Every structure is written in structure tokens, then in C-alpha cells.
Amino acid sequence: MRETQSFHMYIRGLLLIGFGMLLFKLLVTGNIEHFLAPKMEKFMIGTFLIVITLGIAQVMRSGKEEEGACSCCEHSHHLPRRKITSLLLYSLFLIPIVTAFLFSDHIIDGSVAAKRGVSLTGEQLKAQQTATSSSSQLSVETQTAQPATIQQPPKGYYEKLGKELMNMQTITVDDTRFISILDVIGRNVSGFKGKQIVFTGFVDREPDFKKDQVVVARYGITCCVADASVLGMMINGSSVSALKAGEWVKVTGVLDQTTYIDTILPIIKVTAIEKTAPSKEQYVYQKF
């Protein structure tokens, strides 16, 4: 019984160490951002240290006889009685660890947008806060106040950003402030009308769109990849009719406004568009 218990302690210790090394790999390579927002990394560092410590302690204990151990310890330690049961039990932990090591750089592609739906930010036209088209997965959200986020921005952040964008000759939507810039433009659609804009994303086509209309979007993560939402902006132009869903493009155009589902939305009148390779960091995060 003692040998059996030691064996199980050893295996469980190795599983903990394996999970810890997986976290270490994700943290060192930066692939942790494929699963969690950057602000959650400090918690993963703490988890890594705890898991590695527990794993090493478990392995060390497996080779020692505990003082005061009695032959009746099976009453307080429930161990699998058959080898096949042990194999199946530990496989439930081993397979996810091995799989994560092999596919830790996998990310969600643009095709998932059709299932999750795309969120567009605009100004309220009628007395309603949100609306969803019955013929598409597209949803629109009105912004009449500061956008609600889990991480609160510094005081005056959006006001300062709005002034900065207004003073730009050409608004370049960078990855660091992608979500914030779309929020600010959506809150003041008419104010940004006529401004030049450049940004990169993947193409999403909605069933009720015209051929010369698409959404260019990115995946935005607030906490983890499970809550990833598709955030983007409508674009319009004869050159977009040949674009396929999921393709990555760099768009240059002029901001205008349109009405969609009783909401005033910003829309980009395309002046130039080119296909491009996916961004190195395909997810965008709310960073302040």
C-alpha cells in the first residue's frame, strides 16, 4: 500500500510540475496573451510559483516514509484500485497539458466572427440602448457615457484621447489603443466626420450588407480568450466587393456616418485598401 501511495504522489507531483512548466513556457514566449489579457499575467506568475512549489514538494514526499504513518491510511486517501482507472484519471490532466504545449500559439481566426457576431459602437438615434439585427450576427451599442470596463481608466482619459485624435491629421488606429479609439469615435460620430483614418483588421461580411460594405474588425479581450468579442468598424467602397471574409486588410479612408438599426454609426469611405499579413498580435486589449 505504501508503494502504491508513493507512486500516485509521484505522478501527481509530476503533473503539477508539468502544468507549472506550461505556465512558464507561456509566460516566457508571451503566448500567455493568446489566453489572458496582459493585466492578468501577474496572477499567472503567482500561480506558476505556487504550482511548481507544490509539485516539487509532492515528488519529494513520495520517496519518504511519513512518521506516524499507519496501515489504515487508505481510509483517508482514496486511490484508484485498478491500473486502467489510474491511466484514465491521470490522462484527464496529462492530455490538456501536452496539447497546450503543442498548440500554445493557436489563435482564433476571422471565421469565428460570423458565429460570435461583431460589435459596433455608435450614437443613440432613438430611445433604446442596444439593438440587434434579426438577419445578422451584427450588434450595435450606443455610447452616451464613459464606456464600462472591468479596469477603470484614469480620470479624463477618454476626454484627453478625444482631443488628441481631433488634432491628428490622420488617425492611426494602433493595437495598443484600438478599443479606446473605436469607443471615442463611436461617442462622437459627427465630430469625427471627415477625418482621415488608417487601421488594420480582418474582414467580416454580414448577410444584410451590400456588396460594397464590410466590417473590418479585431478580437478584443477584456479578461481571457473565453470573453473575446469582435470589435470593428463598417467600411464602404467599390474596392471592397472582392474581399473575402477572414482576409486581413489595411484600410485608408475618410470617416463618415451612416444609420444602422436605429443607431448612428461611423463608417469609413475607402480611399485605399490593401491585403496584408495578419498582425503579429492579433488580439487587442483595453490598456490604460
Summarised one tens digit per residue, pLDDT across range 124-155 is 665 444 444 444 555 555 554 444 455 677 88
- Nearest 10 degrees: Cα torsion 261, 262, 264, 269: 40
Min mean pLDDT across 5-9, 67-71, 235-239 is at 67-71
The domain locations on the chain are 2-102, 110-285
For residues 273 and 240, the answer to whether their CB atoms sit within 8 Å is: yes
Query: Using CA atoms, how far apart are residues 121 and 126, in angstroms rounded to an integer?
Result: 15
For position 176, what pLDDT does the model report?
87
C-alpha cell of residue 90:
491521470
Pairing of strands 196-204, 248-260: antiparallel
pTM comes to 0.69
Cβ neighbours around 66 below 10 Å, total: 10
- For every residue of 74-132, DSSP letters joined together read GGT----SSHHHHHHHHHHHHHHHHHHHHSTT----GGGHHHH-EEEEEEE-SS-SEEE
Phi and psi (nearest 5°) for 282? -75, -20
- The tally of CA atoms less than 13 A away on the side-chain side of residue 239 is 14
Closest Cα to residue 216, out of 184, 194, 240, 185? 240
Summarised one tens digit per residue, pLDDT across range 98-122 is 888 887 666 766 666 556 667 777 7
Closest Cα to residue 265, out of 180, 164, 169, 193? 193
Hey, is 265 helix, strand or coil? strand
Domain 110-285 CATH (choose: 2.40.50.140, 3.40.50.300, 3.30.365.10, 3.40.50.970): 2.40.50.140
Query: Using CA atoms, how far apart are residues 218 and 232, in angstroms rounded to an integer?
Result: 6
For residues 229 and 149, the answer to whether their CB atoms sit within 8 Å is: no
Summarised one tens digit per residue, pLDDT across range 199-227 is 899 988 877 778 888 889 898 887 777 77
Percent of the chain whose predicted confidence (pLDDT) is above 70: 77
Angle at 132 between CA 165 and CA 129, to 5 degrees: 60
Query: Using CA atoms, how far apart are residues 227 and 206, in angstroms rounded to an integer?
Result: 21
